[in-house]
Amino acid sequence: MQVLLAVASLALAALTATATSKSDHQIPSLPGYNDAKPINFDQYAGYIPLPSNGQKMFYWLTESESNPSTDPLVLWLNGGPGCSSISGFFTELGPFVVQSDLTVKRNPYAWNRKANVVFLESPAGVGFSQPLLNATEYTDDITAARAAEFLQQFLEMHPRFKGRDFYIAGESYAGMYVPFLVHHLVTKPVAALALTGFAVGNAYTDQKIDDASYMDYFYSHGLISIESYRRIQTTCKPTELWLCQNGYKGCSDACAAAYDDTNMEMSADMMNPYYIYGDICFLQSNQTKLLKYRTSATSKAVPVGPCADVFTSQYLNLAHVQEAIHVTRPGSSSTIDWTDCSNAVGERYHSSLTVLDKYPTILKAGLKALVYSGDADSVVNFIGTQRWLTTDGLNLTVTDKWHAWYGPDKQLAGYKETYGNVTFKTVKGAGHMVPATRPLQGLYMFECFLYGSEACQGFVYPKTRADYVSGATLGDGIGAVNPNTALWWWTAIGASVVVGVVVCVYVMRKKTAKKTQYVELTASKSPTYAT
C-alpha cells in the first residue's frame, strides 16, 4: 500500500508539473510598477513541483535586457540557511526596488542587463517554497540534490535555455549552497545543463577558518583596542578561537573570558557588523533575529547578510502581488505569509562545518570561479576567505599576483589575485551584500566574470547615481527613512559641501596666486557611460 501511495504521489507531482506551462508563469504586468523606463524584458514566476517528493519550489526568472536568446543563464541563491533569494532580487541585484509607498522602481545596476537570472527560494520552507520539512531533510547534500532536480524541471518548462552557458552564484551561506550544488552537478550532471562556472560572495566556507579571522579583522579595522587584541593573542591558541566563537567544548576559560570581554568592547548598538561603514537601519529585520539565534552556544549556523527590505516584505504580502507572481490563484482571498528569512528553517538546518572537501573535484572540472569579498564585512570577512583559498585551506597556487582592479568609473574598486581558473577579488567599501552596497562595482565585476575583462570594458555602464536606493536603507526603531526625503536631505548636504569647497578653493587660489592643475585620469581602454 505504501508503495502504491508513493507511486500515486509521484504521478500526481509529474501531472502537476506538466500541467503548468511557461506561459502560465509569465508576468505580463508587475503591480505597482512606477518608473519612467518600461520593463524591457520578459519575466516569469511561480511554482515548479519536484517529481521526487511534490515539494513546490518558487522561482522568479528575469530574462536578459540585451540578448535573452543567447546570453547565459545564472542561478542566484541567497544564504541563511533559511533566507529568501527574492529578498536579494529586490534589495540587491534584481531589476526592481520597492519604495516606501510600495510602488516599484528600476534598479539601474540589475544583473539581468546581460544575463538571464533565475532566483530560487531554496530549500522548501523558505519564502514561498513549500512545505516546511522535517529537520532530517535540511542538510546541504539534500538541498543541493533538490536544487538540481529543480533545474532539471526548469529546463523542461523553459527549454530555450538547454545547452546555454550556465552559472551559479550566491552570497553568505550560499558559500556552502553553491559549491555543494556545483559538486552535485559535476558528479551527477543534469542533461542539457551546460555548467560553465560559479561565483560566491562573502562566502561562508569553513567554520574554523572563517571564525578564526574575526579578531584580526576587528583589530585591523579599529573596532577593538590593541590591549584586547594582544590579550587574545597571548591567551588563546589559534585553534581555540572558532570554538569560543560558537560556544563549543575545547575553549579554555581564559580564552572564553578574553573573547567575551573583547566582544563586549566592540559591540555597539549603532554598529553594523555586516557593513561596518553602514547605518544601524541594516539590522532591523528578521535576519537580526536569526543572528541572535545563530550566535547562541548550541548553534552551528552562520549569520547571513543584513536585513531584507521591510518595504519588500510588505509588497510581497499584498494579495494582488501574490496573484500576479502566481503564488495564489486568481480571485483567491488567501495569502501566504512571506518573510525574508525563516527562523523555522534556520533552527532545523544541519549546517556543514566546511565545504572545502568539495573543491578538488570542482576545480578538476575546469570550471571558472569567482570568489569575492566586500572588504567592509566583518562577519564573513576577506581575511578568512584568503586563508581558505591559500595557506589554511585549498593551498592554491598563485598564477597572477595581487594587484588593484578598477571599476568602470576608473576608480579603485578593490584588489584581485588569480589561482588558475579561480579569481579572488575584494570590493573596496562594500559590505556583506556587495550588489547593495557597491552596485556599480558589483555589476561590473559580475559582467567581467561572465564575458571577460576585454568585453566588459566595451560595455556601457550607468553613472553612479545618488537617487538609487536599495531596500536596505529603511530605518526601523529610529524612525523610518523615506527614500525621497533622505535623498533630498543628502543632496542638499552634498550641494552645501560642494559650494563650501568651491568657495574655499577660490579664496586660497586668490591668496596664493597659484593655479591648481588637474590631471585627467586615463586608461588604455575605458567603458562608456550612459547619460
The residue from 140, 377, 378, 470 that is catalytic is: 377
Facing residues of 83 across strands? Answer: 341
Instruction: Give the C-alpha separation, 258 to 261, whole Å.
Output: 5
Q: Are 434 and 442 in contact (CB under 8 A)?
A: yes
276 phi and psi, to 5 degrees? -65, -15
Spatial separation of the C-alpha atoms in residues 8 and 11, rounded to whole Å:
5
- φ, ψ (nearest 5 deg) of residue 489: -65, -50
The Cα–Cα gap between 189 and 148 comes to 9
In the residue annotation, 172 being an active-site residue is answered as yes
Measured between alpha carbons, how far is 527 from 114 in angstroms, rounded to an integer?
Answer: 15
Euclidean distance between CA atoms 447 and 453, whole angstroms? 8
**In whole angstroms, what is the distance from residue 335 CA to residue 358 CA?**
40
Cell numbers 527560494 correspond to 121
Q: What is the DSSP letter of 90?
A: I
Q: Catalytic: which of 172, 285, 299, 373? A: 172
Distance CA 332, CA 324 (A): 11
The position carrying cell 573543491 is 359
**How far from 396 is each of 174, 384, 403, CA to CA, in Å?**
21, 15, 17
- Out of 140, 228, 432, 470, which one is annotated catalytic? 432
In eight-state DSSP terms, residue 23 is: G
Strand partners, 61: 44, 118
Residue 377 designated active-site:
yes
Q: Are 186 and 362 in contact (CB under 8 A)?
A: yes
Classify strands 56-62 and 43-49 as parallel, antiparallel or unpaired. Answer: antiparallel
Characterise 124 by phi-psi region: left (phi > 0), alpha (psi -120 to 50), beta (else). Answer: beta
3-class SS string, 253-311: HHHHHHHHHHHHHHCCCCCCCCCCCCCHHHHCCHHHHHHHHHCCCCCCCCCCCCCCCHH
Catalytic machinery residues: 172, 377, 432
